[in-house]
């Protein structure tokens, strides 16, 4: 069954149709502008496809309402992004296409993609993190995607300062929270150069590895993940992986019983840069299967998607 996926990012949207990693039939990227323009472009992409999609999955930037039982399910909530507060993302797509829509955070969608097809197959408890324009985290606990009163906001946990770091941090809400100290823009602001231009021997990287490791240690201690998948633009610096693993071992101080090598605990996404959009496709599959399925926690169509297309 062909389904649609939307990776709805704060800077760009990625739309795709297909069935999975070996079968993405069309992919389109465009910048995130106003909700009206951006969502119309997404709908037009699906309408142009030779075969209609049975459902659409959306992995979104946030904060967003991802509770299927909430009257505002499918909407962006308290974002500072101009024009997007309250935007009914799932509703607009579901109404226009007349198909069920499943809606979750970008990182929970990527986690679902990695669970179905990538580095978290058969794992009931794991974390997916992106270290990019922001820091975000999602994952599974006990075989279910991690949801609560809203959704996790792991990127904004507090971490202690690196002793050599006087940088004040870039988070508009908290200054020097984890994201404020360790996202891509923080690296650029601290060193005066974009992160992708810093050479592998630059002093930026041990500090970055230390901060990324501090956040991971908090997650290891609270969630006890079987794997931590690290995606996002900053993690294109592959030399960070061994540094981060060493720092995690050192910071845990031998307290948690971990294997000698953390090579299997802290890994890149097996789906690479496609984890987000493939995760959205996986969400779309769940939405197509769950029409009429009222099990608690099952992916459900948005109310707005119930109009039903008979074609």
Q: Does 79 help bind ligand ADP (rule: CB under 6 A)?
A: no
Structure tokens at 133: 């324009």
Q: Which CB sits closer to Zn ion, 28 or 153?
A: 153
Length of the chain: 311
**Is 195 a binder of ligand ADP (CB under 6 A)?**
yes
Which residues on neighbouring strands pair with residue 12, listed in sequence order? Answer: 31
Q: Which value, to the nearest 10 degrees, does the dihedral of the CA atoms of residues 277, 280, 281, 287 take?
A: -170
Contact with ligand ADP (CB under 6 A): which of 160, 175, 194, 272?
A: 194
Under 8 Å between Cβ of 17 and 49: yes
Binding residue for ligand ADP (CB under 6 A) from 236, 246, 289, 306? Answer: 236
233 vs 268 by CB, closer to ligand ADP: 233
Instruction: Select 167 or 298, whichever has its Cβ closest to ligand ADP.
Output: 167
Binding window for Zn ion (CB under 5 A); candidates: 23-31, 45-53, 167-175, 187-195: 167-175
- What is the rounded CA–CA span in Å between residue 253 and residue 62? 34
Does residue number 78 form part of the binding site for ligand ADP (CB under 6 A)? no
Residue closer to ligand ADP, measured from CB, 55 or 216: 216
Residue 177: what are its φ and ψ, rounded to 5°? -70, 180
Q: Which parts of 123-142 interact with ligand ADP (CB under 6 A)?
A: 130, 132-134
177 makes contact, choosing from ligand ADP, Zn ion, none, with CB < 5 to 8 Å by partner type, with: Zn ion
CA distances 165 to 133, 178, 201, 204, 227, Å, are 20, 13, 17, 10, 29
């Amino acid at each position: 069954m062909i389904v649609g996926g939307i990776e709805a990012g704060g800077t760009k949207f990625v739309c795709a149709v297909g069935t999975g990693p070996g079968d993405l039939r069309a992919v389109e990227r465009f910048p995130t502008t106003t909700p009206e323009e951006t969502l119309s472009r997404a709908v037009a992409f699906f309408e142009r496809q030779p075969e209609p999609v049975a459902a659409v999955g959306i992995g979104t930037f946030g904060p967003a309402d991802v509770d299927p039982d909430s009257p505002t399910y499918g909407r962006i909530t308290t974002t500072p992004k101009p024009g997007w507060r309250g935007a009914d993302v799932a509703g607009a797509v579901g109404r226009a296409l007349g198909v069920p829509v499943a809606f979750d955070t970008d990182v929970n969608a990527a986690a679902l993609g990695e669970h179905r097809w990538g580095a978290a197959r058969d794992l009931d408890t794991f974390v997916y993190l992106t270290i990019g324009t922001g820091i975000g985290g999602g994952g599974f606990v006990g075989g279910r995607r991690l949801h609560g009163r809203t959704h996790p906001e792991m990127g904004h946990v507090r971490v202690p300062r690196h002793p050599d770091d006087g940088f004040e941090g870039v988070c508009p809400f908290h200054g020097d929270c984890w994201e404020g100290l360790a996202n891509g823009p923080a690296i650029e602001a601290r060193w005066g150069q974009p992160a992708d231009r810093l050479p592998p021997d630059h002093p930026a990287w041990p500090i970055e590895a230390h901060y990324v490791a501090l956040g991971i240690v908090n997650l290891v201690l609270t969630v006890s993940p079987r794997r931590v998948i690290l995606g996002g633009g900053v993690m294109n610096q592959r030399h960070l992986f061994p540094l981060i693993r060493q720092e995690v071992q050192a910071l845990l101080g031998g307290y948690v019983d971990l294997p000698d090598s953390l090579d299997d605990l802290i890994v890149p996404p097996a789906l690479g840069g496609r984890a987000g959009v493939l995760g959205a496709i996986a969400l779309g599959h769940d939405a197509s299967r769950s029409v009429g399925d009222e099990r608690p926690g099952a992916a459900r169509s948005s109310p707005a998607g119930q109009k039903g297309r008979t074609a």
